[in-house]
């Protein structure tokens, strides 16, 4: 019977000694888990807005296919540029993401290469600022999570 309480005593001592290790693991792992969740949510917001901007330039460049070439035989490329630019402006007016407030350049151009007209629409936005989830400045890491400096989306169609 004397051996039974001693074993129970060893078990209690073993638990008391391991509580410090659990606390140390919690102190080291908890900030890592929180930072991973924060970075995942920040990148999720950023890339969803990039997807929305990509959808805008895709729709603006495809809008040129609504142009009737028989009606605009002389200046098809000028009319195509006008239609796509108007569509781009209209769609950007409806966009309410935080990247929409930091757009540096936007527009559509027509390029001619080997007899083929290529309409290219592009939006460039400043990507390193997200008002929804701001960056945290840490002493040894710097800005966290590290956002790209520029977010650029582009779409091109041949007509």
Q: How confident is the model at residue 4 (pLDDT cuts 50, 70, 90)?
A: low
Q: How high does pLDDT run on average in the chain?
A: 82
96 vs 8 pLDDT, higher one: 96
Q: In what order do the strands lie in the sheet with 116-126?
A: 103-113, 116-126, 150-158
3-state secondary structure of 114: coil
Tally the C-alpha atoms within 13 A of residue 86's C-alpha that lie toward its C-beta: 8
H or E element: which one contains 93?
helix 76-94
pLDDT at position 14, please? Answer: 53
pLDDT at position 129, please? Answer: 64
Inter-residue contact 113 to 131 (CB < 8 Å): no
71 vs 52 pLDDT, higher one: 52
Cβ-based neighbour number of residue 102 at 10 Å? 16
97 vs 59 pLDDT, higher one: 59
H or E element: which one contains 137?
strand 136-138
The model carries a pTM of 0.74
Q: How far apart are CA 52 and CA 132, in angstroms?
A: 16
Q: How far apart are CA 55 and CA 152, in angstroms?
A: 12
């Amino acid at each position: 019977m004397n051996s039974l309480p001693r074993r129970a005593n060893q078990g209690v001592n073993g638990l008391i000694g391991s509580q410090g290790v659990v606390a140390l693991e919690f102190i080291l792992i908890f900030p890592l888990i929180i930072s991973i969740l924060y970075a995942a949510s920040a990148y999720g917001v950023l890339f969803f807005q990039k997807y929305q901007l990509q959808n805008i330039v895709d729709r603006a460049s495809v809008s040129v296919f609504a142009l009737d070439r028989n009606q605009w035989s002389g200046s098809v490329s000028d009319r195509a540029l006008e239609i796509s630019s108007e569509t781009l402006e209209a769609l950007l007016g409806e966009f309410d993401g935080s990247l929409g407030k930091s757009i540096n350049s936007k527009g559509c151009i027509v390029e001619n290469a080997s007899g083929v007209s290529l309409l290219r629409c592009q939006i460039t936005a400043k990507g390193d600022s997200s008002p929804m989830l701001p960056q945290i400045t840490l002493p040894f890491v710097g800005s966290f999570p590290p956002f790209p400096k520029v977010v650029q989306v582009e779409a091109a169609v041949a007509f």
